[in-house]
Amino acid sequence: MAAPNTPKAKAERLLNLTMSLLSSRIPLPKQRIRHLVEAYRSVESDEAFDRMFERDKDDLRAMGVPLVTEDIGVFEDEQGYRIDRRDYDLPPIELTAQELAVVGLASRAWAHAAMAGTAATAWRKVAAGDEVSEDPFVGLEPHVGGGEPAFEPLKDAVLTSATVRFDYARPGEGEPRPRHVEPWYLTAWHGRWYLVGHDLDRSAPRVFRLSRVVSAVTTTGEGATQPVPEDLDPVSMIAATDGGEPQAAGPAVLRVRVGTGHVLRRRARTMTSLDEQWDRVDLDHGDTASVAAEIASHGPDVVVDEPAQLRQDVVDRLRAVVGAHEEAPA
């Protein structure tokens, strides 16, 4: 039975070959390698194995793996193969505090996707160094995808270029309408998530706010007909569709509990310690509705002192949450 040579099988074979060569302190002859790597053991003939092994060696070297060939034994034509760990290992990675924060947010983001636990641990270790804890970025508050049910299926559709259907509700149009879309880009803008893609029913690029997708997102199995434009600027499209760039509403003065509100702190104009529990954070903001929603998501850890309208918007949102819980059945 011939060994499978699918992309997945090849990737697994190359990984096993790399690990076998890394784990040995001496050069390994081909027959020993054939015994150690499971995929090689199922190759039907020596000639087929030789061809596969030669291709795999070339692939590893093309990827930058320092695969070394050395003469071994008493016969000059007997060769062994090894990977010197000193040449293979990456140099120490030193990240600034801001870079650590970005990687930390990314590690949280992957928690929402189908990522293997071992890979997620490795990703966090890059950010936290050797002293990695179960959650090294517990102080950060990424809001990836928010609570939008459409986020995950649309994210997958963008990554796989899968055409989708969903029902979409636009203000002032009454009943939701079905949409048939080739997705191009998924991004956040001023606290909301948007899909940019080609609307097949309207034969034109369109922007869709995820909070207005009111049905399940289904893939159609159709191939893409419209390539992503090289000059695509999704943020400009979203700004134009959603009312343009918001006008600056002036600075907001916040009280932020010590050890919290890291996302707000990173955007602050100034920060001042008030006492052991609170810091003052001066923050420029534009769209009052979006920043009010962001501040309200921090609950009692962030208090708005100024301006009065922003404070009232946050209070209204928090009261609405309390009211919804009081009305919910036990």
Q: What is the pLDDT of residue 123?
A: 53
Q: What is the pLDDT of residue 280?
A: 92
Distance between CA atoms of 209 and 187, rounded to whole angstroms? 10
Q: What is the pLDDT of residue 133?
A: 46
Q: What is the pLDDT of residue 180?
A: 95
Pairwise pLDDT comparison (312 vs 131), residue with the higher score:
312
CATH number of 7-88: 1.10.10.10
Domain 151-241 is of which CATH architecture? Roll (2.30)
The bridge status of strand 28-29 relative to strand 79-83 is antiparallel
| Residue 288: closest CA among 320, 267, 312, 269 | 312
Whether the bond between 66 and the residue before it is cis, its omega within 30 degrees of 0, is: no
Q: What is the pLDDT of residue 136?
A: 45
Q: How far is CA 82 from the centre of its chain?
A: 35
Q: How far is CA 219 from the centre of its chain?
A: 21
Q: What is the pLDDT of residue 246?
A: 42
Q: What is the pLDDT of residue 329?
A: 58
Query: How large a percentage of the chain has pLDDT more than 90?
Result: 16
Domain ranges of the chain: 7-88, 151-241, 251-327
Rounded to whole angstroms, the maximal C-alpha distance in the chain is 87
Quick one: CA torsion of 67, 68, 73, 76, rounded to 10 degrees? Answer: 120
Max avg pLDDT among 35-49, 76-90, 282-296: 35-49
As a whole number of Å, the CA-based R_g of the chain is 27
Q: In what order do the strands lie in the sheet with 79-83?
A: 28-29, 79-83, 67-71
Distance between CA atoms of 173 and 264, rounded to whole angstroms? 36
Mean residue pLDDT across the chain:
78
Query: How large a percentage of the chain has pLDDT more than 70?
Result: 74
pTM greater than 0.85 (yes/no): no
Residue linked to tokens 């034994």: 73
Q: What is the pLDDT of residue 304?
A: 92
Chain segment 232-251, per-residue pLDDT in tens: 888 888 888 765 444 445 68
Q: What is the pLDDT of residue 98?
A: 67
Q: At what angle do helices 7-23 and 46-62 cross, to 10 degrees?
A: 80
Pairwise pLDDT comparison (126 vs 57), residue with the higher score:
57
Pairwise pLDDT comparison (191 vs 56), residue with the higher score:
56
Min mean pLDDT across 67-71, 112-116, 295-299 is at 112-116
Mean pLDDT score, 192-215: 90
Pairwise pLDDT comparison (141 vs 288), residue with the higher score:
288
Which helix (H) or strand (E) segment holds residue 306: the answer is strand 302-306
Min mean pLDDT across 67-71, 133-137, 217-221 is at 133-137
